[in-house]
Amino acid sequence: MATSTFTVVGMTCGCCANKVRDEIARIDGVGTVDVDVESGAVGVTSAVPVPADQVKVAVETAGYQLV
């Protein structure tokens, strides 16, 4: 298992967190996605390390920005 942490800006509520979580969860190999709206921290647990560019695309698809 691989764990990565990313920072996302623009989230303000649980609905925002759900959008980000849902998009990242669509990436192949992703097991769990934990989102903390206050800090913007997004923890991703996956079978193999997830490339940051794939996470960036997922976050932007959800309407937010990866820092």
Domain total for the chain?
Answer: 1
Region class of 34: left (phi > 0), else alpha (psi between -120 and 50), else beta: beta
Q: What pLDDT score does 5 carry?
A: 97
Task: Compute and round to an integer the Cα radius of gyration of the chain.
Answer: 10
Q: Which two tokens stand for residue 40?
A: 């913007």
pTM of the predicted model over 0.85: yes
pLDDT tens-digit readout, 26-67: 999 999 999 999 999 999 999 999 999 999 999 999 999 999
CATH of the domain at 7: 3.30.70.100
Q: What pLDDT score does 33 carry?
A: 98
CA 52-29-31 angle, 5° bins: 100
Contact criterion met (CB below 8 Å) for 33 and 58: no
Domain of residue 44 covers 2-66
